[in-house]
Structure formats: structure tokens, C-alpha cells
Amino acid sequence: MDFKFNLGGAEEEEEEQNLDGLNFFGGVHHHHDDDLDKLDPTMQTSTISRSKREKSVEPDEEQPDYEAEIVAKCVYDQEKGVLNEYELLDKIGSGSFGKIVRVTRSYYEDDGVTISKSIYVFKILKKSQKIIQITDENGQSQLKKELDLLYQELEIYKYLNNVNICKLYQIIDAPYEQTIYLVMQYCDLGQILNLDEKDQKYYPNTKIDQFIEQTYNISEQDQYKKREKFAKVIFKQVSQGLKYLHDKKIVNRDIKIDNILGKSIECDKGENFKIIDFSTAVKLKSHHQKVFGQAGTPAYQSPEVCTKSNDGYDGKAADIWSLGVTIYCYVNLSLPFLNQPDPQKLFNSILNDPIQFQTHNSALFLDLINNMCRKNPKERLKIDQVLNHQWFQE
């Protein structure tokens, strides 16, 4: 096999990176290299603002029921396109985070006969020693290594075991390598919406629409009603994944369209839609612990995150807001607070403006989104209330 593949991660930059720079809409992570330069820079990465209190703690006191395997060897045969036991197929995504490569792993009988092959993805990340500027719990700036933040993320991610969360199977982290390889589930259907990179607008992912229509027996002639029925399938599952996180005292802080993928192969009904990306996640010490700092993607941020309150905020309530914005976006193919691309005007809109609905949105949809996106976080639905809302039961 004549296969050569550059496994380098994202290019390192020399200068310090200030993470208070804002990306309004969130980036599309699954695209070809040729398309990268066409993306508006504000669409490519989300921002992280970490605090001292947000360091990950050990998982719940009880023994975790799952832990991703950590492998300390990395053997790469460039001619054969094989790393450890994985054969590299093709690159399916890239961005500031690194690269996404589709791989396959063969499983053998004792006599060497291949009995099955499974497809995974590598998420390839540089062990960046770059010092970046973050914000602590008191609103003060401090410096931290990007690598420390990556390991903090993995301390949360490696224990997650839920059908509606993209599973991390293995972490290939050889001490002599400058790259980490995350072996993850392959979600063949991609993001739940596609992005038109020219006009920066979302449009339906026809593969996902066709899959839902056939697999979940959706028969509806009215296109607007059908859109809401598709949304119920997707977001019932996403909400179940978020409930798992909240029950585990984990807040995600970056729920958005780009971080939900669809999978049709090697999974049952109810397991097709999955949350990805835990780079902003926080493991709480108690269900009532506040979180600090501005994290996530501005267009999806709740009012209390926008204002960067010195008193901290309820991370679960912020997740509910972001989930409500995401559901709205999926149904209407637009974000509710996007009238002003200027950051201050966007935040003012989030803080003060009511959500404008489309005439075709159902009454139950309006009720769900309005109650998920209350300006006062104490008035928002909890995740159990979201799952039990009549919109999902209809």
C-alpha cells in the first residue's frame, strides 16, 4: 500500500494567544483543507476563559463504570499508513484544534483471519507548550499552558460513557511524541446542520434528514411540521446526553449546532445523535457549585455568561440556554440573536431582546424555547423538565 500521510496537528503560533477574542457563531469542524481559507475567522474557533475553580476534580466518589484506555506507545509506518493497530483512511476535518482522520481497526481470530473491521476517527492534537492568557475567578488575567488545559479536558472526557455522547475509546499519548491521538467514535452523518461558508448561513444536512425520515418513520407533508419532528428526534437524544452530564456534575458550556453529530452505523435507535467537544467542560465538586469565566461561543451564550459576573453563575442553567438556542437554530436555520455581528451589540441583544419566532413555529415549540431561554437563570427549565416538556411528548 503506497500511502503517505502527514499526521502533524495544528500549526503552532509563536505569539501569545488572548482567549478573550470572540467567535460569534462557532466553527464547522468537519470540512476539507481547501475550504479552510474560505471561512470567516469568526466562524472557526470558540473561546475559552478558564478559572482557578474550574480545574477538573476526580470523578464521583464511586468507581467510574468506564475509562478510555491510555496507550503510551506510538508506532507509525508512514509507507503503509498505519499507526499502532489503526490504518489511516482519509482526513475528514481540520481546524485550529488539529486534524480529524478516519481510521479503521481490524480484529482477528487466533489464526490471523480477519473477523471484523471497525471505523473510528483520530482527533490529532499538538502538545502545545504555548502560553495563553486566561481569566481567573476574580476576573484577573493569568497565563497557562495549552497542554495543561488539554489534559484537564481529557480528565473529564475519558470517563464519559453514554450513548448520546461521542465516545472516547483510547488516548495515544507517548512521552516522546509531540502529538496526542484521541481514538473516538466515527459519526458518519456529520453535523446536524451544514454551513454555507459563503453567506455564513446554516442549511439542512440532507443525509441526516433522510436518515431520520426513514429510521424514525416520519411521515409529514408540511415541511415546517416535519422540521420540528426531526428536531424532536435529535434533541430528545441530545437532552438525554446533557442529563447524563448534569447528573455527573459536569457542565459542558459549549452546546451548539457544531458540537452535535449524527451516526447511523453500529448503533441502535435512540443512540444516533451525540454531543462532542468537552474543551470548555467543568467537573463540579457539588451540584450547587458556581462556575466562573466566559466560555463557549458568543451567539449561544446566556446573559449571565455574557456579563462575566464576579459572583459566578449556574453552569447547568447556562447549558439549558445554549441548548434552547441550538434547538431554535436547528428548526429555523438561523440563530435567535444574530442581528448585530458586533460583540457588544450581540451581547446587548442577548441581555435585553426577546426571541423573535417564525410564524410557522408551533405554540409548544415557543413555550419550550421561551422557558429554556429565560433571561433569569433561576426561571429556566431544568434538564428533566426539558425532557418531560409536552413538545417532546406530542
Query: Which amino acids are annotated as binding site for ATP, given as ranges?
Result: 123
- Strands 179-185 and 168-172, bridge-based pairing: antiparallel
List binding-site positions: 123
Residue 89 three-state SS: strand
Cβ contact 57:149 at 8 Å: no
In DSSP terms, 70 is beta-bridged to: 171
Q: State how far the Cα of 324 lies from the Cα of 330, in Å rounded to an integer.
A: 10
Size (the chain), residues: 394
Residue 370 three-state SS: helix
End-to-end CA distance of the chain: 53
- Helix (H) or strand (E) run with residue 122 in it: strand 114-126
How does DSSP classify residue 71?
E
Residue 135 three-state SS: strand
Q: Mutual orientation of helices 223-247 and 206-215 as an angle, nearest 10°? A: 90
Query: Cα 56 to the chain's mean position, in Å?
Result: 18
Residue 168 three-state SS: strand
Q: State how far the Cα of 369 lies from the Cα of 175, in Å rounded to an integer.
A: 47
Report the sign of the C-alpha dihedral through residues 126, 129, 132, 137, in that order.
Answer: positive
